[in-house]
Amino acid sequence: MKFLDILSKLSLIMIFILLLIGLNKIGKTEKSEGRFYEYKDSKINLQTVRKIVPRVDYIITYKGDVYDDIFKKHSLSLNEKEIQNIDTLLRKVLTSEYYSVEIAAYMLLDNEKVELYHSERYLKFASEYKVSDGMLEKLYAYGLDDLQAKNLSKIKDKVYENPKDFFEDVVSYAKLNVSAWSRENIPKFGLDSSANKFMNGLSVDATEHNLTVESVESIKKSLLEAYNVYDGIK
């Protein structure tokens, strides 16, 4: 009897252990099957994803950029350090004469690109025009004579913030003919080479949209929220 009692108890213990193992497997299966990321009205099964990579792409161009870096696209790892670097850069951009800012954060789930954040485009046009040696050289190539150059030298290095005022003074001092060509090109000649490249890189329908302290803070917050999405599923 004692042997049968012991055998019965062992059987019950084995059954209990097997039940625990079974429940554990069921729990893991349910957890595995439940790890989905919803994106654009679809679900991505994270259990089938081998690699999750957070990225941030941005074009931040402003006065002081190296000439070759104007409108250069940067693509980097999205992390808290990089977010702080972007925030520091944007606060520098705030005081720039001109700039263009656009930022996007996303995850790569293997080859699937999942966008987490895309900023507005912030844009400020170049606004400093002046008669310089470079401008005089360009005008000489189009027929400017020494007397006209001498007259223009009277306003040389004077900074204008309005392209219309700059154009009118240049035409008046140099006694130039007003034409479609002069209206289009004289303001361009008044910009330095970097500002000229910047303005030429804009589309004809581009409109100004100023960056503010509040928008910089909003961008940083949105980037941190994007990183937290990645951090929550990595």
Q: What is the pLDDT of residues 136-176, one digit of tens each?
A: 999 999 999 999 999 999 999 899 999 999 999 999 999 99
The contacts of residue 138 (CB under 8 Å, 6+ apart) are 189
Is residue 121 classed as helix, strand or coil in its secondary structure? coil
Do residues 136 and 149 lie in contact, with contact meaning Cβ atoms separated by under 8 Å? yes
Q: What does the alpha-carbon distance between residue 174 and residue 152 come to, in Å, rounded to a whole number?
A: 6
pLDDT digits (tens, 9 = 90+) for 53-73: 999 999 999 998 999 999 999
54, 84, 65: which is closest to 229 by C-alpha?
Answer: 54
Alpha-carbon dihedral sign for residues 72, 76, 81, 83: positive
- The C-alpha angle 44, 49, 54, rounded to 5 degrees, equals 90
pTM: 0.77
How far CA 210 is from CA of 72, 125, 188, in Å, comes to 20, 10, 22
| Cβ-count burial 52-88 (b if 16+ within 10 Å, e if not) | bebbbebebbbbebeeeebeeeeeeebeeebbeebbe
pLDDT digits (tens, 9 = 90+) for 117-138: 999 999 999 999 999 999 999 9
- The mean pLDDT of the chain is 87
Q: What is the DSSP letter of 52?
A: E
Reading the block at residue 111, the tokens are 């080859």
pLDDT at 6: 52
Is residue 8 very low, low, confident or very high in pLDDT (cuts 50, 70, 90)?
low
Is residue 178 very low, low, confident or very high in pLDDT (cuts 50, 70, 90)?
very high
Q: Which residue has the tokens 């989905």?
A: 36
